[in-house]
Structure 1
Amino acid sequence: MKLHKYASCLALAAISAAMVSCDNDFDRPPVIVPEATYEVNTAISEFKEMFWEVTQSNSSYKTIPVNENGDSIILGGRVISSDEDGNVYQHIYFRDETGALDIRVHGYDLYESYPMGQEVRINVTGLLVGSYGKQMQLGVLYNNGVGGMEPEEFKVRAQRNGLPSLTDAEPYAVTLTDLAGWTNDKAKLIAWQCQLVKIENVSFEGGGTLLWTDKPGETGTSTRYLKDAAGNSIEVRTSNKCTFSSEVLPKGTGTAVAILGFYNNKWQLTFMDPESGCIDGFEFVSTPETPENPDTPSTGEIIYSALAEDAASVDWTYEGNSVEGVEAIWSWKEYSGKHYLNASAYVGGKAYASTAYAYSPVIDLTSKKSAKMSFDHAAKFQTTLRTLCCAVVREEGASSWTELTIPSWPEPGNWSFASSGSIDLSAYAGKKIRVGVKYGSSAEGADTWEVKNLKISE
């Protein structure tokens, strides 16, 4: 595992300590080895179990009390994250032998004081425990939720103990198949949420051709995907403002090392930096490569178009379009003379759980060598949108849908339409298909999703 940026700092600290201990004639300040006075009295898994129900609602939080003996709750472990490259931003992840936690700190360059491998002991009594997308996190009150405490407060609460040890911050091995079976397993969620993990034999969708982010330097995050040979995939979330936002995704197959998060019932990865996170087989390129051409060059011909904003009606079919409390999830709507396909399961101030599809008539690709689809979409409020909604396709006569990755999502906060990016349908060239969009929601989130101007081209 390459962690050279962090390892070099720790090596210098260790060398300095050794030189001070064997030769006092040098005119240099002594290396002070921190020694914590706190005694850990609660395991991370025990703590998570105590407050698990609080995390099952994104809007709830609780002040951490003293323990049954009247003492402050003291957690301890090794730091397993670094904010040096800005992708792990204002968070510190730490773990003990039983689990890992995310603690919010409203500061910068936290890695300088709390590097990877540093043992810390933290007094958490008086902090808030809550969740972001059902991932437990600790912090203070901010905008009626859990936010980051000031570094000065964290310094008082968090005592360092000894010098950092990277050998105590090695990633734990896991597979995408494992993760696929753990999304509803409480014990596994407690143990693996927020862990530093390594996943072998995976590759990036768009490796060598896409950048890490869609809009480098801008506010927001972008989603990419890692996949394995069995077809399992996991989201990769990257800040548009991190130092590697404009770099090209590594190509090839290798081992991924990243923080494992859990957002709205889906696992996702956060890389600290490409060099330490993409190892053992990945190849780095400096400029995006042009994707390989199919056997027959693409003509760019429009094969099918639908959901035009100037259309008064559409010939699409809705499936599963109502649930108790929601009369119609999908509908064709008009606003200021422009039309769009609209989906929502939020009625009367309440979010309802649903799964509904809107899909096209049969589209003939029997004479085509390749195909790709795109559309425009918008969503102001995004809670479960990116995890429960997607594009879908199925062959004529089939009853089940295949879910397709949407490369690009609109920025939350407004109703501005953005392109979905190109969705590859080449696996269906030579066949007859239907395409559509799947809307999903839960009691925790039922966003409004707007879709228009869908096109399939060769």
Structure 2
Amino acid sequence: MNKKNIQSVYTSILSLICIGLILFTSACKRDYEAPLLVEPIYNGPNANITIAALKEKYSNITDPKVIDEDLIIKALVTGNDVSGNIYKQLYIQDETGAINMGVDQNSIYTTFRAGQEVYVNLKGLSMVKYGGELQIGFTGTNANRIAWEIFQEHTKVSGWPNAANLSPLEVDLSKLDASMVNKLVIIKNVRFNNGGINAYAGGTATVSEVVKDANGKTLDVRNSNFSTFAKEILPKGKGTLVGILGRYNGGWQLFLRDKTDVIDFDGTDAGTTPTDPEAGEVIFNETFGDGTYPSGNRPKIADFTGFDMKSPVTYTEESGSADIRTATGISASVWFPANKDVTLKIAGIQTVNKADLTLSYQLVPNIYNVGETTNLNAMKVKINGTNYTIPSTQVTINSTDDRNKYYTITIPNIAAAATSTIEFIMTGADNAFGFRLDNIKIASATAGSGSDNTIIVTK
């Protein structure tokens, strides 16, 4: 074969190889083309029970209970593990209530996104009570979580997810109740105690960071060290939080779904925000600081240095019985122990040339068990030598929702003086359970319209 013929054969072979490569590439491309998306349609049985009715049906269980009825709920996904702050849980909600499902799987959010409508066939799953609250799980598995394969069999999506269908419930921290457990909520005008200082979860574990509202009511915000925003610094100032409102053994908690649930914090320091127009000019405002004082770290009044109001204001309590402490859902406050005579005296409050003054403060009675009762008039108040007696106001624990309630007492038209002194007087004979005193305020006009738990005192 001559040189020309060899070149011709070589060229033909190269052409065949190229054609083959083109055909192979085209075939591979066709193999990996994404299929057309088809909207998921649920064709199973209709829902026949609401979340509220489900929780009522199993309200008295103590151990996990297998559901042996053909019960089906329809709900929207409100919370998932999109940021890692919620772990192996899916939160769902209908028009009556909300509940969480324990799922033994990561990255649930890729299928069950916020705003996704789901149908859950409950037969064969279990109702579980954890931390005093009901959830849907599977008996006998790790942490009663539902295995992923079983979860997919029982939980079906319907239609495309639409987060616009979710409307968070706006809540007041002083008015939380059982109907709100596990709901998607929005809380406005709150401030992180450690805003601008701590990370959301700077260590190696899930932590609680406390937020406080304008009335001093607090809430634990639970942050996982595995969340995508764990190492970011808490925002400074006042702002709005959205999240899942949980409750564990009676203590309220908020779970952020991701960083977008932290909204419009203004970056101001505590005490530098504009005065609430409803409160007029605030002359004195004592919240006993933002610290935490659990058992073993409860300073007496004489030893406490975290008062908001400094010199020339002085704080004395001669019996040495009262201290500063915190508890779940209760910010730093003065503890008046049961069966003790205690007088907290605050002097040196500058009220010169101020008129139409109103004093307000909050009491938390230390009653815990159903049936326990006490009276807010156990505490007497003396202002600039004038005695004020709280009207008889009996409070009773009718359910766990009645624990740790703040009651606001408002005394308008207090006696004027250039320098004012307030004495909070508790006699042991009237105080069988103990009280906490917090959020003492003097303003030159009404201290706001109050709430259902406000008691107006008249001379």
What's the TM-score, normalizing by structure 2?
0.54
**Contact 2:77 2:90 (8 Å CA) reproduced:** yes
Q: Secondary structure at the match of 2:139?
A: strand
Partner of 2:405: none
Structure 1 residue ranges (4+ consecutive) displaced by more than 6 angstroms after TM superposition? 358-362, 368-371, 439-444
Instruction: Map 1:46-445; keep pairs closer than 5 Å.
Output: 46-54=53-61, 57=62, 60-66=63-69, 72-142=70-140, 146-179=143-176, 182=177, 189=178, 191-215=179-203, 218=204, 220-274=205-259, 276-283=260-267, 363=302, 395-397=317-319, 402-404=324-326
Partner of 2:51: 44
Kindly provide the CA deviation profile for residues 269-301 of structure 1, in whole angstroms up to 9, marking residues without a partner as x.
Answer: 011122x111133559xxxx9xx9xxxxxxxxx
Which has the larger Rg?
2
5+ residue gaps, structure 2, are 1-32, 273-294, 335-343, 348-365, 371-399, 401-459
Q: Secondary structure at the match of 2:253?
A: strand
**Contact 1:362 1:396 (8 Å CA) reproduced:** no
Displacement after TM superposition at 1:151 (Å): 1.4
**Contact 1:204 1:250 (8 Å CA) reproduced:** yes
Displacement after TM superposition at 1:127 (Å): 1.1
Kindly provide the CA deviation profile for residues 141-196 of structure 1, in whole angstroms up to 9, marking residues without a partner as x.
Answer: 247x85211211111111111111112122111111222xx3xxxxxx1x211101
Partner of 2:37: 31
Q: d(CA) in 2 for partners of 1:153 and 1:232?
A: 42
Q: Secondary structure at the match of 2:38?
A: coil
Q: d(CA) in 2 for partners of 1:121 and 1:240?
A: 32
**Contact 2:52 2:96 (8 Å CA) reproduced:** yes
Q: d(CA) in 1 for partners of 2:80 and 2:242?
A: 13
**Contact 1:87 1:239 (8 Å CA) reproduced:** yes
Displacement after TM superposition at 1:82 (Å): 2.5
**Contact 1:128 1:146 (8 Å CA) reproduced:** no
Displacement after TM superposition at 1:64 (Å): 1.1
Q: Secondary structure at the match of 2:146?
A: coil
Q: d(CA) in 2 for partners of 1:271 and 1:369?
A: 29
Tell me: CA distance 1:359–1:243, structure 2 relative to 1, closer, same or farther (3 Å): closer
Displacement after TM superposition at 1:214 (Å): 4.4
Q: d(CA) in 1 for partners of 2:367 and 2:140?
A: 29
Kindly provide the CA deviation profile for residues 112-148 of structure 1, in whole angstroms up to 9, marking residues without a partner as x.
Answer: 10100000001111111112211211111247x8521
Counting matched residue pairs gives: 283
Amino acid at match of 2:112: Y
Tell me: CA distance 1:34–1:269, structure 2 relative to 1, closer, same or farther (3 Å): same
Q: Secondary structure at the match of 2:152?
A: helix
Amino acid at match of 1:62: K
Percent identity between the two aligned chains: 30
Tell me: CA distance 1:360–1:233, structure 2 relative to 1, closer, same or farther (3 Å): closer
Tell me: CA distance 1:233–1:95, structure 2 relative to 1, closer, same or farther (3 Å): same
Q: Secondary structure at the match of 1:167?
A: helix
5+ residue gaps, structure 1, are 1-26, 67-71, 183-188, 293-329, 331-340, 342-357, 372-392, 407-422, 432-438, 445-458
CA RMSD in angstroms comes to: 4.0
Displacement after TM superposition at 1:94 (Å): 0.6
Displacement after TM superposition at 1:365 (Å): 6.4
Q: d(CA) in 1 for partners of 2:136 and 2:301?
A: 50
Partner of 1:312: none
Q: d(CA) in 1 for partners of 2:190 and 2:114?
A: 25
Displacement after TM superposition at 1:396 (Å): 3.8
